Amino acid sequence: MSLASYAARRVALGLVQVLAVVTLVFFLVQALPGDAAVALAGDNPDPARISAIRAAMGLDRSVSERFVSWLAGLPRLDFGVSLVSGRPVADFLFAGIGPTVVLAALTLVLLVPISVLAGVLAALREGSLLDRALTSVSVALHSIPEFALAIVLIAVFGVQLAWLPPTAVGADLLTQPAVLVLPLVVLLARPICSISRLVRAGMLDALASDYVRHARRLGLGESRIRFAHALPNALAPAVQQVARTTDWLLGGVIVVEAVFVIPGLGTVLVDAVAGRDLPVVQGLAVVFAVTTVAVNLVADLVAFRLAPRAEVVA
């Protein structure tokens, strides 16, 4: 199968997946107990007022009617209106997506080269002091949860030594890059470990393979064998893990955003759930579904190119 026809099939499948998730989210939210109108009426649960709120929010229409109109709005980025503030849900999403994307992009830009390099170095010096040191450090980092690492880093570098700002309260992320350093360290700690371990294992397999032995017999240079022959084969499993990490980052890493007070998608989600602002929760679910499907689509296409034999079963 060619890359193009494979891509077309996967895109079609991705659209179906997004539609299924969106439908599921809508009906799950409907099934939640409690009544938004009652909650909004607050201290004054006058039946007349509650039914007025219902009418204003369209809650008096049938579920299927509301679903169709909500679904029709999605392609126009019309996610409905917040119950709490009355502002369009899209405003919340656009506000949150900026910081989350900045953080995710910077993390990935650092993550991929560092972890591939660490994995390759460990594999080339298998069993050496360097290999064991990289293994120990990365496993140690992987075993520390984000919130613990975040709090320790803030206590040491933010408060005691005062080298870096402890939180990003009120800061513009792009003009004050110093506020990003600690969150990036926390976000990188665990993925570096998982990805570099995969690259190391893949690289060891590839270096011991028949095609690498064959390339050596043909007289090709050692660095060309390592980086042009072994490495592409070693990367295939790591690509899937990078995709999972990307998905995790684009979902707004709630703990990190909360500890460092970064107003990303995670913060928006926490606020919306706390305020029972269901349209915003629904809107976020749509965003997460689309990013998950899109990221995995890209990963499968890359994996398809890296392992043309393996058909990724959709």
Partner 1 sequence: MSPVVHVEDLRAEANKNVLLDGVSFALSAGRVLALVGASGSGKTTTGLALLGERSPGVTVSGRVSLSGRVGFVPQQPASALNPVRRLGSVFREIAALHDGDPEDLVGTALRRARVPADLLRRYPHQLSGGQQQRVVLAQALVGDPAVLVADEPTTGQDALTRNEVVGELAAVVAQGVALVLLTHDVEVVRALADEIVVLRAGRVVEAGPANELLTDPRDDYTRALLDTVPPAPTTTPEQAPRLRVRGLTALYRNATVLHDVELEVGERLAVVGRSGSGKTTLGRCLAGLHQQASGEVLLHDRLLARSLRRRSRAELAAVQYVFQDARGSFDEHRPVLDQVARTAVRLRGVRPADARAAALTALNRVGLAQETVLRRPRGLSGGELQRAALVRALLAEPEVLVCDEITSGLDAVTRAGLLDLLAGVPCALVLISHDLDVVARLADRVVVLHEGRVVAHGPVETTLDGAEERMK
Q: How far is the CB of 310 from partner 1 (least distance, A)?
A: 9
Give whichever of 172 and 210 is closer to partner 1, judged by the CB atom.
210
Provide CB contacts within 8 A for 103, sequence distance 6+. Answer: 173, 180, 183, 184, 187, 249, 253, 256, 262, 264
CB 188 within 8 A of CB 111: yes
Q: How far is the CB of 68 from partner 1 (least distance, A)?
A: 37
Q: How far is the CB of 309 from partner 1 (least distance, A)?
A: 4
CB 281 within 8 A of CB 218: no
User: For residue 8, what are the CA distances in angstroms to 1, 175, 287?
Assistant: 11, 40, 22
Give whichever of 202 and 266 is closer to partner 1, judged by the CB atom.
202
Give whichever of 163 and 211 is closer to partner 1, judged by the CB atom.
211
Rg of the chain, C-alpha, whole Å: 24
Give whichever of 9 and 213 is closer to partner 1, judged by the CB atom.
213
Alpha-carbon torsion (9, 15, 16, 20), positive or negative? positive
Give whichever of 120 and 149 is closer to partner 1, judged by the CB atom.
120
- Total Cβ atoms within 10 A of residue 309: 5
Tokens describing residue 245: 């990490």
Q: How far is the CB of 124 from partner 1 (least distance, A)?
A: 17
User: For residue 7, what are the CA distances in angstroms to 111, 237, 241, 290, 305?
Assistant: 26, 19, 20, 16, 11
Identify the residue whose tokens are 């994995």: 119
Binding site for partner 1 (CB under 8 A): 209-215, 217-220, 224, 228-229, 232-233, 305-309
Pick from 266, 272, 279, 269: which is nearest to 82 by CA?
279
Give whichever of 92 and 304 is closer to partner 1, judged by the CB atom.
304
Q: How far is the CB of 236 from partner 1 (least distance, A)?
A: 8
Q: How far is the CB of 146 from partner 1 (least distance, A)?
A: 35
Tokens describing residue 161: 């030594």
